Amino acid sequence: MATFTDPLDSITDPSDWADSSFPNLSKLDSLLRCHICKDFLKAPVLTSCDHIFCSVCIRRSLESDKKCPLCHEETYESKLRKVLLLDEISSWFTRNRPELLDKHRPTANNTPEPVAAPEPEKPAVPLRYESRKKRAAEEPLVECPVCSTFMSADELQTSHIDSCLANKRARPSPSRPVISSFFKKERTPQTQPEFVKKKTKITNLDPTISTNKLKEKLNYWNLPTSGTRHQMETRMKEFISMYNANLDSVNPVDDRVLINRLMKWEGTYSLSKTAGDTEEDGAQWRRKYQKEYDELIKQARANMNRINTKLDSTD
């Protein structure tokens, strides 16, 4: 089972918090996960029955069954609504999770199993630095009467007040840049970049589409037209799921990135494997029923012989 240990470290689940100093975080951890992929929500969407899944997960699922995986109520792709705020919350949590987990790690002597601590040990220096920072953050902040900056009382009294009084004019008041930087922020929360608004979702693939039309469609989206009809269909379907899900994301990527992901997906998962599987199934089937086949062949030969001898004798 050694093969599983390596990728396991990159796999997270809510129980990671169980040995932390704040085990309740496992609740938040599990709430932010998609019920289909069990990973953190990516581009979450709300169904008409008020359940939330990753956009790409629910789209793939609805392709085979038009029911909500949680309540089995009928749900349609057209009814899915994106929830940008949740996307932001989830990606924030994903980004900050390793650090949070690290900060809530119990002291070294009660972590006996290495499995429970996937994050690499931090060197002693940054740890001490962090604890100082943390201590500073816990102290109540006071306002400097000169420049109105907030800082710890300690810092204000020892160094800041003097320097602030000495070169008051040279020091720009930090309160003004705060306001301007607020307006200059990368992007207003809960909005998608402009280019997404120009795009519309691709409609689902009509299963009766002619192979030529399917190729045209693939060409239009710069996708390869190699492989069998089934492979092309699967490729187009997966691309539609990915493309539409991308439009539900608060941080959508370029189409070229999507095509890259699609190619990777094809490589690791479906097409090569499904092709291989049928061959393997065939081989397994043959092995399983070899005896019966042999028996049937024997019977058929015996019958042939009997008929032949009968014919011979009648002649």
Partner 1 sequence: MSSTEKRLLKEYRAVQKELAEKRSSIRDTGIVDLHPLEDGLFRWSAVIKGPDQSPFENALWRLEIDIPTNYPLDPPQIKFVVFGEEKIRQMQRKTGSGTRKVCYKMPHPNVNFKTGEICLDILQQKWSPAWTLQSALVAIVVLLANPEPLSPLNIDMANLLKCDDMTAYRDLVHYYIAKYSAYESNDV
The site for partner 1 (CB under 8 A) is made up of 1, 3-4, 7-8, 11-15, 18, 35-39, 57, 60-61, 64, 67, 69-70, 72, 113, 115, 265, 268-270, 273-274, 277
Residue 37 or 247: which CB sits closer to partner 1?
Answer: 37
Minimum CB distance to partner 1, residue 251 (Å): 19
Phi, psi (degrees; rounded to nearest 5) at 33: -100, 150
**CA–CA separation, 215 and 236 (whole Å):** 9
Phi, psi (degrees; rounded to nearest 5) at 45: -130, 155
Residue 19 or 155: which CB sits closer to partner 1?
Answer: 19
**CA–CA separation, 148 and 73 (whole Å):** 57
Minimum CB distance to partner 1, residue 44 (Å): 14
Looking at the DSSP bridge assignments, the partners of residue 145 are none
**CA–CA separation, 59 and 244 (whole Å):** 9
**CA–CA separation, 39 and 54 (whole Å):** 9
SS3 279: helix
Phi, psi (degrees; rounded to nearest 5) at 286: -60, -45
Could you tell me whether strands 44-46 and 141-143 are parallel, antiparallel, or unpaired per DSSP bridges? unpaired
Minimum CB distance to partner 1, residue 74 (Å): 13
Residue 172 or 207: which CB sits closer to partner 1?
Answer: 207
Asked if 79 and 48 touch (Cβ cutoff 8 Å), the reply is: yes
**CA–CA separation, 160 and 166 (whole Å):** 10
Minimum CB distance to partner 1, residue 298 (Å): 24
Residue 72 or 298: which CB sits closer to partner 1?
Answer: 72
Minimum CB distance to partner 1, residue 61 (Å): 5
Minimum CB distance to partner 1, residue 264 (Å): 9
Residue 34 or 151: which CB sits closer to partner 1?
Answer: 34
Residue 215 or 261: which CB sits closer to partner 1?
Answer: 261
Residue 56 or 151: which CB sits closer to partner 1?
Answer: 56
SS3 151: strand
Minimum CB distance to partner 1, residue 24 (Å): 17
Question: Among 14, 17, 87, which Cα is nearest to 45's?
Answer: 87
